[in-house]
Structure 1
């Protein structure tokens, strides 16, 4: 059946009840991208979701773990031919992770190069304090010749947002972003046909509880307000964006 909601960049295996989350996705008809933070987690996530109609798994190598796990890039590259979705990958120059930045760039460059060479990939990309660097890597990799990229939890500037749009990026929006006037302004300039919704669960909380799949309805409602749309129309638009994204690869 056709999905009702879009739930990108979910850390399924970090929920205490990950089996229940998968069941919720199927029951609520939520098209979900379950990202992983290390390639070692990919096979297990694929097993957990093998019977799901609505959950797909991304092969990931999270930048915050690169200092300890750079050597796992070989395992990532071994699995990549079997993965259509890639994530969570990217760069993070936050204070806790800046010391591994050179290693992060090495890994990210290899991921982009291999993805571009193989083609037909959809990437969910982390870009904390590194938007310009991430966009430069995307430009140099020529990823968009045959693949697509979603900027997860985008926190760049207006000019960086416009540059990302020109490149062809999509943007996944979550509830936490909508609490910031700066981010609401950014969302207002993102093209409507490049918007997706996410939760980054279980890291974002609502009233002290990790967000669950159907909680994306609040994000859809806020996107509708920002873009002066009816919530139902905003929901349909986001679903159509997902269809277009998937059809392009």
Structure 2
């Protein structure tokens, strides 16, 4: 099988503190390279340091995930030892993203999922309409947080344009706003523009993003969840990328375990099956796409 590149991993996260070099070695020995994606300044810096340590097969991105703006949205001990919210600092990220091993700006974008989830949980618990609106995040607070996410995302779109580097996008339950922002800045997007990681939108969303110059990234979830099949089958092969999102969302047959880049072959197999083509066609095609987008060898 052709060399495969995991275009979205987080091997710099604390989930790998005990065996990071072993995990990286397992992937590299299998001919699998990886792009470790930053989610805030510290994890972006750690991704760069890993790429410096493994210059043949590892690359980095630098960016700010929307959930790090809101302490209520994000706490993941697999990523950081403690919850870390911070303010996005353009100059700081600009300096880091200039590093030659940084191939893209991101993970950046919009994430409205926890706003919806919190209200849904209160509704399921039998709260009244008034309590649903009053408890937890109120509507005005949600609007303010969404606005903050949009502003920080826009800054990173501009940062990527300044550096002439592609974007790595994160989007959950926010495709309308994401697309609106990207269309407003379509003239400054890189060519190609970037990748929508863990794509979870509709086929109409996909077509719009493809028209804007984006690739679509798919990971382990396609091995067990069928709602992704339509886009996986319809999207042109020359716009697909493989990813793991490790340590999250392990593919079948590894579900329930910590994910890692070596498992990416399972996603490639499933995409080949869904599209009715040989595995080698998916491996070679997505590897070529990764080179096109990120300029990696």
- TM-score, normalised relative to structure 1: 0.89
CA distance in 2, matches of 1:227, 1:116: 34
CA deviations on 1:89-140 (whole Å, 9 max, x unpaired) are 1110113488321111111000101211231x12211010112222222222
Matched, 1:167 2:212: yes
CA deviations on 1:132-176 (whole Å, 9 max, x unpaired) are 222222222234344531001111112111111111110111111
Which secondary structure state, in structure 2, belongs to the residue aligned with residue 199 of structure 1? coil
1:140/1:74 CA distance change after superposition, 3 Å: same
Match of residue 48, structure 2, among 46, 49, 74: 46
* Higher share of residues assigned strand: 1
Of structures 1 and 2, the larger Rg is shown by 2
Q: 1:38-187 residue pairs with structure 2 within 5 A?
A: 38-52=40-54, 53-67=56-70, 68-82=85-99, 83-96=102-115, 99=142, 100-119=145-164, 121-141=165-185, 142-146=187-191, 148-187=193-232
Shift of 1:3: 6.6
- Aligned length, in residue pairs: 246
Partner of 1:29: 31
CA distance in 2, matches of 1:22, 1:122: 25
CA deviations on 1:190-241 (whole Å, 9 max, x unpaired) are 1110011111110113242112222111111111111110112221111121
CA distance in 2, matches of 1:165, 1:150: 9
CA distance in 1, matches of 2:63, 2:146: 17
CA distance in 1, matches of 2:178, 2:98: 23
Matched, 1:190 2:235: yes
Query: What is the root-mean-square deviation of aligned Cα atoms in Å?
Result: 2.2
Q: Which runs of 5+ in 2 are unaligned?
A: 71-84, 117-140
Which secondary structure state, in structure 2, belongs to the residue aligned with residue 13 of structure 1? coil
Deviates more, 1:146-155 or 1:168-177: 146-155
- TM-score, normalised relative to structure 2: 0.76
CA distance in 2, matches of 1:147, 1:193: 12
CA distance in 1, matches of 2:94, 2:294: 22
Deviates more, 1:107-116 or 1:134-143: 134-143
Which secondary structure state, in structure 1, belongs to the residue aligned with residue 244 of structure 2? coil
Deviates more, 1:105-114 or 1:61-70: 61-70
